Amino acid sequence: MKILFDTDIGSDIDDALCLAYLLANPSCDLLGVTTVTGEAEKRAMIISALCQNAGKNIPIFPGAETPLLISQKQIQAPQALALDKWPHKKSFPKREAVRFLQETIRNNPHEITLLATGPLTNIAQLFKIDEEIPSLLKGLVLMCGAFNDKAANLGTCDSVEWNALVDPHAADIVYKSAVKSHKSVGLNVTCKVKLKKEVLKKRLSVSHLLTPIADFAEIWFQEEGEATFHDPLAAITIFNQDVCVFENGKVEVELISEELKGMTYFTPGEGQNQVALHVNIDKFFDSYFAVFK
């Protein structure tokens, strides 16, 4: 399965857990990784550390550091503080992330699944500069949104998901794009797959591919007592159809209300978007850790 991965690795620990899964999965042909949000180059260094540890030479491109129209809410990559413990590249091509995505997709029409687990700035730019790209994808899989019922007015400030909040205008562009297979896994599902700090540390010891993540996770655990597998869940839905149940419909992104900007509404029925509604927690964790054995 040909995969391109766009990520804001270096903030929440789940992006690193997701990348490790992609690197370990024998069914994944990872064609490249792009980074997004503040300190994009340091995020690329974290990716390089994980790839070198896995013995993989994967193309890595730092991407957009600022949202399309609003100021940046995610300025730093805190986990970069652990980089001195692991060998990694320190220089990368500049301002070429979107071009790399465009050329790779055009060179592999209808073969690539684009997995995006950060704010959607890079993807929105890609779709705007080349409007044919969405139709050339095999699929688009997002960790984005917290899917509320617009008709029932269930939205609150607490239900605005971070990736959509950081660049809501980019999210709006991406959700309006015509992709043949467009799946989203949102907070309403991902928040069900968590491990406490002590449990995760033990699980990270099962494979050398997970060893660097223990160091990056130490920074995450300075403020958090658990890890939520938001991004790995989105990745696993590409390879295992039994982990999540999806429903077709239409996703809309709130742009008018300043208080709720970035909220994602889901209307079931006809539409080009598929949204995860349920997750089999046991199957998820079995599927995730199976690739490291």
| The predicted structure's pLDDT at residue 100 | 98
Q: How far apart are CA 191 and CA 235, in angstroms?
A: 15
Q: Which domain holds residue 90?
A: 2-290
Per-residue tokens: 170? 């980019």
Instruction: Per residue of the chain (293 residues), give pLDDT as tens.
Output: 999 999 999 999 999 999 999 999 999 999 999 999 999 999 999 999 999 999 999 999 999 999 999 999 999 999 999 999 999 999 999 999 999 999 999 999 999 999 999 999 999 999 999 999 999 999 999 999 998 655 444 444 457 899 999 999 999 999 999 999 999 999 989 999 999 999 999 999 999 999 999 999 999 999 999 999 999 999 999 999 999 999 999 999 999 998 889 999 999 988 889 999 999 999 999 999 999 98
Alpha helices in 57-196, H assignment, sequence order: 97-107, 121-129, 133-136, 162-166, 168-175, 187-190
Sign, CA dihedral 222-224-225-226, equals negative
What is the number of other CB atoms lying within 10 angstroms of the CB of residue 276?
Answer: 23
Q: How far apart are CA 196 and CA 225, in angstroms?
A: 6
Report the domain count for the chain: 1
| The predicted structure's pLDDT at residue 158 | 53
What is the number of other CB atoms lying within 10 angstroms of the CB of residue 226?
Answer: 14
Count CA atoms closer than 13 A to 182's CA, side-chain side: 19
Reduce the DSSP state of residue 202 to 3 states and report it.
helix
Q: How far apart are CA 246 and CA 240, in angstroms?
A: 13
Looking at residue 259, its amino acid is E
Q: Is the pTM of this model over 0.75?
A: yes
Q: How far apart are CA 278 and CA 195, in angstroms?
A: 18
Q: What is the CATH number of the domain that holds 110?
A: 3.90.245.10
| The predicted structure's pLDDT at residue 149 | 56
| The predicted structure's pLDDT at residue 159 | 76
